Amino acid sequence: MIIYATKGDMLSQVADKPFLLERDIQKIFETNLKLITGLLPVRSEFSIKHKRIDTLAFDPETKSFVIIEYKRDRNHSVVDQGVSYLNLMLDYKADFIVEYNESCRENLLRSEVDWSQTRVIFVSTAFTENQKQATNFKDLAIELCEIRGYENGLVTIEIIKKSPSAPSIKQIANNSESLKKVAAEIKVYTEDDILELGTQLSRSLYEHFKNSILNLDPDIEVQPKKRYVAFKKTRNIADITVLKKGIKIWINLKKGKLDDPKLLTEDVSQKGHWGNGDYQIIAQDGSNLEYIMFLIKQAI
């Protein structure tokens, strides 16, 4: 990626300013963890069973733990190390909960954690094509994130996306006992998992609303979760799940922050619900599509 600075009508290329140490990357990432990822920091340099985890974090949306590792060395297998960490967490679940409760001074119960959505994030200045291909499985809970520094204090952060045609890790899992265990216990959800809940009519309605939301801003991304599909920019904007006779939409705004003159939304601030935000809509057709996009745009 080439970064330019403007001066009047002229552009000048911003020079790279590489991170000298792995620790420099870790410090920036941990200090801004919630802004960058939406995750809650639990512990830096967490040691367990003779292994050291750079950053232990918790995802409040999926109720799952996330391990973050920082790398400047490009000559290593992120799959082997990632699977090793995933198995470590599955084998010693109680240790991670104890660390969360002690570090965050909360009382997280084992039953409140969704271990199936555990994942590992590798952060590096660059990954090789071999590393990217090795992790390009749609249901492998290992993510790659590239971070680069530039002069004038500029930083870019990019999540390496998996290809739409990425295969399933289950095709090769039988060749490795450690990979087999991960594939059996950890689930990376896709849109298809949510769409299976609906009918042909509600699936078609979902696609219609999905495309309209993506047209609101080019930076909106689709991130399937266990119970819904999240639409995110720097944070969740809206979430959708598929019903038999329509779709359910949550708009990620707190009560009192949404301008809804038609009173189309329901206040769910005092009700249990899957998605993010205090506003819920059930749509059974596309008659209010334009108005609902007006509501969702307020969360961008």
Query: Residues 23-35: pLDDT tens digits?
Result: 999 999 999 999 9
Tell the CATH topology of 191-297. Aspartate Aminotransferase, domain 1 (3.90.1150)
Hey, which residues does 55 pair with through a beta bridge? 44, 68
3-state DSSP helix/strand/coil % of the chain, to nearest 5: 35, 25, 40
The residues spanned by each domain of the chain are: 4-185, 191-297
Tell me the pairing of strands 236-242 and 221-224: unpaired
Question: pLDDT tier at 168 (50, 70, 90 boundaries)?
Answer: confident
Identical fold for domains 4-185 and 191-297, yes or no, is no
**Contact by Cβ (8 Å): 196, 205:** no
Q: Is the pLDDT of residue 175 over 70?
A: yes
Question: pLDDT tier at 75 (50, 70, 90 boundaries)?
Answer: low
Identify the CATH assignment for 4-185 out of 3.30.360.10, 3.30.1600.10, 3.30.1370.30, 3.40.1350.10. 3.40.1350.10
Query: Residues 93-111: pLDDT tens digits?
Result: 999 999 999 999 999 999 9
Question: pLDDT tier at 139 (50, 70, 90 boundaries)?
Answer: confident
Beta strands in the chain (DSSP E): 4-7, 10-13, 40-48, 51-59, 64-71, 119-124, 142-149, 155-159, 221-224, 229-232, 236-242, 247-251, 266-267, 279-283
CA distance 10 to 17: 22
CA distance 68 to 122: 6
| Concatenated DSSP letters of 192-229 | HHHHTTS-HHHHHHHHHHHHHHHTT-TT-EEEE-SSSE
Q: Is the pLDDT of residue 300 over 80?
A: yes
Q: Is the pLDDT of residue 116 over 90?
A: yes
- How crowded is residue 107: how many other Cβ atoms within 10 Å of its Cβ? 9
Question: pLDDT tier at 172 (50, 70, 90 boundaries)?
Answer: confident
**pLDDT, position 164:** 82
